[in-house]
Amino acid sequence: MKSEERLVERLARLGLEMPEAAEPKGLYRPVLIVDDLAYTSGHLPVTADGQLITGRVGDDLDVDGAQQAALLAGLGILATLKAELGSLDRVRRVVKLLGMVNCTAGFTQQPAVINGASQLLADVFGEEKGIGARSAFGVGSLPLGVPVEIEAIFEIEH
Amino acid sequence: MKSEERLVERLARLGLEMPEAAEPKGLYRPVLIVDDLAYTSGHLPVTADGQLITGRVGDDLDVDGAQQAALLAGLGILATLKAELGSLDRVRRVVKLLGMVNCTAGFTQQPAVINGASQLLADVFGEEKGIGARSAFGVGSLPLGVPVEIEAIFEIEH
Amino acid sequence: MKSEERLVERLARLGLEMPEAAEPKGLYRPVLIVDDLAYTSGHLPVTADGQLITGRVGDDLDVDGAQQAALLAGLGILATLKAELGSLDRVRRVVKLLGMVNCTAGFTQQPAVINGASQLLADVFGEEKGIGARSAFGVGSLPLGVPVEIEAIFEIEH
């Protein structure tokens, strides 16, 4: 099965819709391709109807809520990639994620939070191609007050 | 017009001078080139006469002051690149910025802050080549107490 | 002298043993290779007998203790690379480090902390190949409460 089909199936199972590719919040492009690598900008969690998820993890959101936010940020990355590439089937593999979690000083489960996005990518691209390198860490604040921001590098086919 | 000429023009308009390429603050190189990519280290905001800008955004600095600091960090990146490449005309394009803002927990305008550097790069390299992917986020503290640190990846010509 | 020999010598001088390559703490691979670049995930400081170093720099740990933690994170990166590549002699050079320091808001010596890892890499690969670009910054919290997390990019030989 192709990545595009797996995405449709996965979204149906989650009861989610694909969001629109997000507009930049500043002077940057959502994704930039050099050679066979696609570098995405940091993506924020937005629902399919355009609502931004906000709040601090460990305070306003628990791990489950934060994982859901990470999943939405991951969906936003897929929406950006699809808009740029035409089809997610052109993605050869996930290279790397950088996951920032807006959380309290005592919160230490950043990896569990970012798993929300990593599981989505594993479901869509398969475990072999969908799981890459990753760093997750806690930050003091994020743009527009979101709980999670994620950037990614993908290897693609031309 | 070439990037070098646009930089001179832009600096004149801003009433700024090009800073010296900064010395490393630790065991690293200011920039490292692999294949056709130049990876710069995190750059701090330093004025042309060598003064470091310090302070926390949302507390000691407002958005305008922080944007100015981001512009200086961007100038430092250009100084480093020029010292390494000989000429900025060898820059093919901006690939990606990572912008860290030392700010209060309630501050959420990190993208506006990092625009200070992105606008400079857009002015110098033009919008097509000067705007790439980007992530901006808020951190609890930065080296030497600066408000902004920025690292970048550029595609270059050999 | 080869990198592998220098590592053995350096470990002996430090009275340290090579740790096991760490198991992922989430849905990611410890290292992923694309073309001639090896992207490592964020590594945490773990001793050779598997004990995780925890605490906040500027509070529970001083600069010396944090440098030691950074050294351990760097050793973990080498263990991961060795497990993936078979031999560290296949490393052509360090491209870039991203060093996150879990510290108090007033702590500003992140570069000195990350030097703990950079010095190890310079010792093992030599200064020319072992020192690359780098960013260091302070964060509010890290996975499992560690004081330092480091990710790296290496250029390798196939």
Instruction: Give pLDDT, residue A46.
Output: 95
CA distance A156 to B38: 21
Q: Which of C118, C122, C133 sits opposite B32 (nearest CB)?
A: C133
Question: Taking CB atoms and an 8 Å limit, are A132 and C98 in contact across chains?
Answer: no
Q: Which of C107, C137, C142, C151 to mutate to test the interface with B (most CBs of B within 10 A)?
A: C137
Name the phi and psi angles at C2, rounded to 5.
-85, 160
Q: Which of B134, B114, B126 is nearest to A24 (CA)?
A: B134
Q: Is B143 on the interface with C (CB under 8 A)?
A: yes
Instruction: Check if the beta carbon of residue A102 is closer than 8 Å to that of residue A140.
Output: yes
The token pair that represents C20 in the structure block: 């096991």
Name the phi and psi angles at B58, rounded to 5.
95, -5
Q: Which of B103, B112, B134 sits opposite A41 (nearest CB)?
A: B134
Name the residue of chain A whose CA is nearest to C98's CA.
Answer: A135
Question: Taking CB atoms and an 8 Å limit, are B142 and C110 in contact across chains?
Answer: yes
C touches which chains (3+ CB pairs under 8 A)?
Answer: A, B
Rounded to an integer, the average pLDDT of B140-158 is 97
Sorting pLDDT into bands at 50, 70 and 90, what band is B76? very high
CA distance B71 to B14: 11
Q: Is B153 on the interface with A (CB under 8 A)?
A: yes
Instruction: Give pLDDT, residue A8.
Output: 87
Instruction: Write the DSSP assignment of B23-67 as a string of letters.
Output: PPSSSS-SEEEETTEEEEPPB--B-TTSPBP---BTTTB-HHHHH
Query: Which residues are B133's β-sheet partners?
Result: B96
Rounded to an integer, the average pLDDT of B99-104 is 98
- Note the ipTM here: 0.95
Residue C25 pLDDT more than 80? Answer: no
Question: Taking CB atoms and an 8 Å limit, are B143 and C37 in contact across chains?
Answer: no
Any idea where the domains of chain C sit in the sequence?
3-16+29-156
Residue A2 DSSP label: -
A103: which chain C residues are within 8 Å (Cβ-Cβ)? 140-141
CATH code of B3-17+36-156, in short, is 3.30.1330.40
Q: Is B119 on the interface with A (CB under 8 A)?
A: yes
Residue A18 DSSP label: P
Which residues fall within 8 angstroms of residue B56, CB to CB, at 6 or more apart? Answer: B102, B103, B104, B147, C105
Q: Which of A95, A108, A112 sits opposite C141 (nearest CB)?
A: A108
Rounded to an integer, the average pLDDT of B115-134 is 97
Instruction: Give pLDDT, residue C89.
Output: 95
Cα angle, residue B141 at apex, residues B135 and B145 outer, rounded to 5°: 110
Q: Is A28 on the interface with B (CB under 8 A)?
A: yes
Residue A147 DSSP label: S
Residue B63 pLDDT more than 90? Answer: yes
Question: 3-class DSSP state for residue C85?
Answer: helix
Average pLDDT for chain C: 95
Name the residue of chain B whose CA is nearest to C107's CA.
Answer: B141
Q: What is chain A's pLDDT, residue by residue, as a tens digit (158 residues)?
A: 799 999 989 888 888 888 889 888 789 999 999 999 999 999 999 999 999 999 999 999 999 999 999 999 999 999 999 999 999 999 999 999 999 999 999 999 999 999 999 999 999 999 999 999 999 999 999 999 999 999 999 999 98
CATH topology of domain C3-16+29-156: 60s Ribosomal Protein L30; Chain: A; (3.30.1330)
Q: Which of A111, A113, A74 is nearest to A94 (CA)?
A: A74
Residue B8 pLDDT more than 90? Answer: no
Residue A44 DSSP label: -
Instruction: Give pLDDT, residue A23.
Output: 84
Average pLDDT for chain B: 95
Class level of CATH domain A3-156 = alpha beta
pTM over 0.90: yes
A40: which chain B residues are within 8 Å (Cβ-Cβ)? 133
Question: Taking CB atoms and an 8 Å limit, are B105 and A140 in contact across chains?
Answer: yes
Name the residue of chain C whose CA is nearest to A138's CA.
Answer: C141
Q: Which of C26, C35, C140 sits opposite A115 (nearest CB)?
A: C26
Residue with tokens 């993208």: B111
The token pair that represents A53 in the structure block: 């998820």
Q: Which of A31, A140, A143 sits opposite B140 (nearest CB)?
A: A140
pLDDT digits (tens, 9 = 90+) for C108-131: 999 999 999 999 999 999 999 999
Q: Is C142 on the interface with A (CB under 8 A)?
A: yes
* Residue B145 backbone class (left: φ over 0; alpha: ψ -120 to 50; beta: rest): left
Instruction: Check if the beta carbon of residue A7 is closer than 8 Å to that of residue A124.
Output: yes
| Number of Cβ pairs < 8 A linking chain A and chain C | 89
Instruction: Give pLDDT, residue A77.
Output: 97
Q: Which of B39, B56, B145 sits opposite C96 (nearest CB)?
A: B39
